[in-house]
Structure 1
Amino acid sequence: MNLPLIFTILALVAYVTGFLYLLKQFLNKTTTNPFLVWSSLLTGLILHALVLSIDMLTPWGINYDVFNLISFTSGLMLLLSIIFSMYRPVIILNLIATPIAILGMFMGAAFNSPGHVIIEQGLGIDIHIILSLAAYAVLLMATIHACLIWFQNRELKKKQKYRVWVNLLPSLQTMESLLFDLIMVGFILLTVALGFGFFTIENFFGQHLAHKTVFSVISWLIYGGLLVGHWRYGWRGMKAIRFTLIGFALLALGFIGSKFVLEILLMKS
């Protein structure tokens, strides 16, 4: 077996170990040892990163193949989920982030094209791309989080007898606090990424970037408006959920949509 396959299998073992332990503790309603969960999942992330480094770092530059980016983003989402669970009582949310990381890792390992999208760029461009991916990962987490809050709100408003999401997830107040934590971090990363891009990318509105730029700026305005509305007028609940979903839909349309069309459908770098 080659080295990436060995790392992938070991990462899978670490991910599944942490996931099953957390799931078992949750189902049995027993106290979870956070250190066991974090150490297992972080071990998986380190191995995941080794697989990515082999696939992405080439003698010609960094391979920004779309499936490598999916793998990178899924791993980053799990890392952020672990970090947030270290200071808020939301460790249960790693049950969602871990399968996403596993799926992303396998998509990257199975479908990436080693010689397809090798981009020779300067350090500035690479930093811009990494910051953009980090913003995307955080805001994707915020979107998933907003959907979970919507499920909770729906059960509470309908006064359902069997409240699956209310019983499964942390309190609504905790969930909403984490949502705005995620949006704030994502907004800051997106702000820096856009600012960095304007100063480092020549012909920012060329190179298939015009639509990405427009969608990203509109998304940035929506997230910024939500944060201001939350701070100034106390926006929360369904209004926060709608802003979050619309903002991410535009961001995804500009980034993932165009990336998929250019690489997969049109076969362009």
Structure 2
Amino acid sequence: MIPGLEGRTAVVGGSSSGLGYAVAELMARSGARVLVVSRSQERVAGAVEKIRDAGGGAVEGCAADFTDPDAPRVVVEAARAAFGPPEIVVANGGGPPGMSATAATADDLTGACELLLLPVQRLAELTLPAMRSAGWGRFVAITSIAVREPLPGLVLSNALRAAVTGYLKSVSDEVAADGVTVNTVCPGFTATDRLEVLAKNIAERDGVTAKEVVAGWATQAPIGRLLQPEEVAAAVGFLCSAEASGITGVALPVDGGFGRSLI
């Protein structure tokens, strides 16, 4: 349970499964009023029902594809209609395809920008004014350890998640005095559907099994295993709590010790 979330309105992107679902469930069980967002209406409905069964109270859903420029507005309006202006936003979604830097085209980079950076900017533009007026708000984007240490074969994620981090760091400076914190969480290798897809693609490229790829990732972190979505969700939840009011502009790694930098 995360203290200070009772009655707060939270929008959680990509929350029908994986990291987003873990965040949405934690917030709902902590008393927040949660809008579950994903592209599939069927999966949204399933996640809403599952969260309610897990003890989450006020939970609604909205199907939206954030690559559609109008989707953030639709989501914010759905949250307002259900619960009121969003006080907590967790920007989260799927990642771009893996590829090498020399193989990436301008179209690839443009597509990654539309997938990763522009939805965050649009959500911030739509929700931060009300947070600032209210004197309280939390905006968290889930990015990747690639922000701190770029990963081979993932140039689009490396480049655009770093752009998200830089953008939100600048935003954090401008809204902090109004009681609004803006942070990012950088997960390491986490047991999600997205990771399974990446492992399969790498396995096909390198002539090994997906199981071998995943095992290799697990051994790269001192904890010797993949992270679980709930472990990442706990960090997101803390940053959204009342106790985290003094933490803003931070890119918080949750990577099982994978990163080797001191700061």
TM-score (norm 2): 0.31
Greater share of residues in helix: 1
Q: More strand per residue: 1 or 2?
A: 2
TM-score (ref. length: structure 1): 0.31
Higher relative contact order (CA 8 A, sep 6+): 2
Larger C-alpha radius of gyration, 1 or 2?
1
